[in-house]
Structure 1
């Protein structure tokens, strides 16, 4: 069986992509769309919640982590939720082709994102746009990790130019480790026997001291400190690693066979050796599997459908099934997420789903009723699979889960007009308590796209929320106008 290269995504029209993608979460706002929103970022409506000081539970000391562990942070409740613009960067000189922006990370001082063939760090400071550093890579970004280390390092896979037989085939066979504080390239390695690693099938994950990459026809892991190869799998084996989920553990998705006869298993690996510690065999007939979390282990499966039908939670100690949760009525958004194909590594990324230590939170499908909440986020007990609370959106104001923080879920709720702002909220499913973190308005022309997790990467870190477009395309009527790339909001009056 031959495996030809996919069409290059870097020359594909975004208009063409729009025709074949499914906009599952977009809808018209009807009469609400006639309300005039702020033309620029406007702050207000702080009185919708009472002012709150530091919450003792969130004022606890940060978890002490080794520098090479995947970063875990905890948020403090701000003294006031009033927000202000802290990052805004526009892409200049766009061509008529789509410019892709894979990857979004945030530290205390910088927002970092990938754009085409480079990584850029933007200073978090109100009032102006400042690029702290820009790192030109040796090719287009093919895959990113959702994580960084405690000392702010991450890795990307790139597509360098090739000569000879590999020329023009779009092979993604080099991995780069980068310091996100400085933009310095720490090491770069050529992946072994990666002739069939493409932007459509390459997945990348980080765990303590290890960078692991798989592309369905081979895999490799590197020591994070030195770039030394730790292990790799044979390209001729019947069963191949499709990709990994990282963080506190390393979870592998293994596929055996091809097409309709394929079967899957999930393995927890010893990250330094690649040897499995336990194996969970996925039922036959499943069409696809995603790994939204390695610890606790959570699988999102497509059982007889092209969409995720169920979540399966496993016991992290032995891999035994703990619970199965039906996704009927829910939108975990695993898979292509608004793009025309599974680009940049999708195996561990489900922007409609967040997994905490003993709760998982999933976004519901949208309601079409004008007087009903636009959607809701439902919490489930990871071990039992039972519902454990729900957070309702508001009419025309969708809610999106962003990250777990201890017992809290940090979520985003979109705005609707100049009166009802967008919000970042911490919600405790045990007590049903809501704590406002930020209140703000997004620019009117960009609000719809920025609030859609299929079109925009949304992240909350260190008291700031960041929005980074997955694709950027110029307006042909104003071809020379810059296009918004990334926007951040932080607490008003905070000294940076």
Structure 2
């Protein structure tokens, strides 16, 4: 499978440990970061970084009875650090954009209607699909940030209305009322009596001889769960005491961001520890019980007597689905097989998006005539409910959200910034018709998707209220050398900006994490002399309410700055903030401490 890019160079040195003593033994010094680029001081001029080329993916197994044409894909390049110079010129500025370029942040945008196209849903999973009229392409967003995070069991609303983040009490950033359309339902996140957070605990980075994936983190009512090196660990939410460990024979490759109603999820992992600078292939899929701390079962998808390498794993309802270049497979959480690749298939399920619904990204045709089919399917049977055929020539697409259905793609490799996004597609998952196509030029918007193989790996995006919420790129603030940005909203019915805008505030950059009812939960990356913040943005008024602010001491700031929202996993719920890396790296031999995860909490 395609591995995520390695950590960029030029990261600032980290300070010593902070927070309460740990029950774990002291760890030796570690290599900086987990793929999270460091900024040498927010608000100061910075030199651009050279893009990095990720290591080549492990070889894929051939398809089931159907020779696969060479993919011919170029490995994704790591873009310059968050807000760094070096963005490519907007390709739409030189060639007229037929889909309606957005002229500026926070203003209604024109759209150009697209011509519908008809298509017959292609068979797969052994089901005859019905004829559906389709229009163009759609990109959906998973409401989590970074790789592999989700709050598995939200707290219950206690009925109080005076301490809920809503349209009252804006803090941090300016308010642009703009269009107040959309629903503004109150979320479950309450405003603490004191929003000042303290460090609850930190988890040291594990010792490794080579860069190792540690992607995957979840929060349940019982535990904060984080992937380590060839293991999954559960920790007390407040104290950091290790509650349980699930040992694995090899490293984790991918982790579903979704869970079942009773906190079960799924991961992909390697069958053994790989040799240095190599991979044993991500051929194993396991179901995990995050409350009990148990591995329920392990499965493989076989081609003859050989297990194929898997690229993507997700959960929808009680179904666990995996995708690959050899096709897709699914099981019930109990372990019962639901479907597997068919040797006679001329198309294959490259991957799935989960959550409220199950959506397949199905690839048809040879490399030079590729067409992606976005299919909403029954998670129990695999039967196609609706299908949208994207324009031929679009090689990769990422599912951002399954309900409403939003898909992202880099059409014609025009994003120019390595983000994987030039356009979003809003699709009706009942009919398969394209509702609207939203142009999001890479030089203007800062969301990211790794759609090469992972299908469901987008960050910096939230979907709700029939809106798409995305951050703008950084730009000059009002202070000397300062940078800032905004979150803006697009209407999923019209494709136009609503006029709503949430400003980060001078020196801060803001990133949406997820929805909380009708509100947007966002993280504000701070300037060099302050701590980060979590805010709730009212879905109607777009007023900001501060929920948490981290300490501004130097050691805490330095540790927090290693967890960039572009490359890290960030979970916020009920006054608790958890930030974790997705890579563990070999020690550099310095005396600086590096962390696998940081936990913050408010007093109220």
1:205 to 276, 292, 314: 314
Alignment equivalent of 1:133, drawn from 244, 251, 257:
244
Please state how far the C-alpha of 1:15 moved relative to its aligned partner.
6.3
* C-alpha distance after superposition, 1:158-207 (max 9, x if no partner): 221499xxxx8733222111111231112222223395743xx6111111
Aligned to 1:465: 577
Of residues 334, 348, 351, the one that matches 2:449 is 334
Q: Which residue of the partner structure matches residue 45 of structure 1?
A: none
User: Pick from 494, 500, 511: which aligns with 1:400?
Assistant: 511
Shift of 1:454: 2.5
Aligned equivalents of 1:360, 1:270: Cα separation in 2: 25
Give the whole-Å Cα distance in 2 for the aligned partners of 1:408 and 1:359.
11
1:89 corresponds in structure 2 to 203
**Aligned-pair CA distance for 1:325:** 0.9
1:26 counterpart SS class: coil
Q: Are 1:54 and 2:163 matched, yes or no? A: yes
Give the structure-2-normalised TM-score. Answer: 0.66
Q: Is the 8 A contact 1:87 1:487 kept in 2?
A: yes
Say whether residues 1:309 and 2:422 are aligned partners. Answer: yes
What's the CA shift for 1:384?
2.1
CA distance in 2, matches of 1:56, 1:471: 34
Secondary structure in structure 1 of the residue aligned to 2:544: strand
- 1:57/1:150 Cα in 2 relative to 1: closer, same or farther (>3 Å)? farther
| Alignment match, 2:489 | 379
The count of aligned residue pairs is 431
- Hey, what does 2:538 align to over in structure 1? 428
Distance 1:56 1:361 in 2: 18
Corresponding residue of 1:38 = none
* Paired position in structure 1 for 2:213: 100
**In the TM superposition, what are the counterparts of 1:132-211 in structure 2 within 5 Å?**
132-161=243-272, 170-193=280-303, 195=306, 197-198=308-309, 202-211=311-320
8 A Cα contact 1:390 1:429, kept in partner: no
**Equivalent in the alignment of 2:383:** 275
| Higher strand fraction (1 or 2) | 1
TM-score, normalised to structure 1, is: 0.79
How far apart, CA to CA, are the structure 2 residues paired with 1:387 and 1:138? 48
Distance 2:257 2:343 in 1: 26
Q: Please list the CA deviations of residues 332-360 of structure 1 after superposition, one character each: whole Å capped at 9, or x if unmatched.
A: 20017xxxxx6xx6311211211124222
Cα offset, 1:457, TM superposition: 1.2
Contact preservation (8 Å) 1:244, 1:253: yes
Assess, with a 3 A threshold, how the Cα gap between structure 1 residues 373 and 379 changes in structure 2: closer, same or farther.
farther
1:288 maps onto 2:386 in alignment? no
**1:219 lines up with 2:219 in the alignment:** no
C-alpha RMSD of the superposition? 3.0
Give the Cα–Cα distance (whole angstroms) in 2 for the partners of residues 240 and 92 of structure 1: 37
How far apart, CA to CA, are the structure 2 residues paired with 1:233 and 1:323? 32
d(CA) in 2 for partners of 1:197 and 1:394? 48
Matched, 1:453 2:565: yes
Q: Distance in 2 between matches of 1:82 and 1:169?
A: 43
CA distance in 1, matches of 2:475, 2:343: 46
C-alpha separation between the residues in 1 aligned to 2:561 and 2:388? Answer: 40
3-state SS, counterpart of residue 340 of structure 2: strand
Q: Give deviations 1:383-426, integer Å, cap 9, x for gaps.
A: 222223111123331111100111100000012244x4311000
Which residue in the other structure is 1:78 paired with?
192
Q: 1:26 aligns with which of 79, 82, 85?
A: 82
| Secondary structure, counterpart of 1:286 in structure 2 | coil
SS at match of 1:445: helix
Q: Distance in 2 between matches of 1:132 and 1:437?
A: 28
Structure 2 gap ranges (5+): 11-34, 36-50, 54-76, 86-160, 168-186
Q: 1:104 to 1:378 in 2, by over 3 A?
A: same
| 1:122 counterpart = 2:260 | no
For 2:41, the equivalent position in structure 1 comes to: none
> What CA distance in whole angstroms lies between the structure 1 residues aligned with 2:281 and 2:194?
49
Q: 8 Å contact 2:165–2:191 — kept in the other structure?
A: no
Structure 1 Cα separation of the partners of residues 308 and 573 of structure 2: 32
| Runs of 4+ residues deviating >6 angstroms | 12-18
CA distance in 2, matches of 1:55, 1:447: 27
Do the aligned residues in 2 keep the contact of 1:92 with 1:482 (CA within 8 Å)?
no
CA deviations over 1:425-466 (Å, ceiling 9, x no partner): 00013112211110113723223221x222211121233121
Structure 1 residues 197 and 143, CA gap change in structure 2 (3 angstroms): farther
CA distance in structure 2 between the partners assigned to 1:162 and 1:410 by the alignment: 38
**What SS does the aligned partner of 2:302 have?**
coil
Contact 2:199–2:600 under 8 Å retained in 1: yes
* 3-state SS of 2:431 partner: coil
Q: Which residue of 1 aligns with 2:116?
A: none
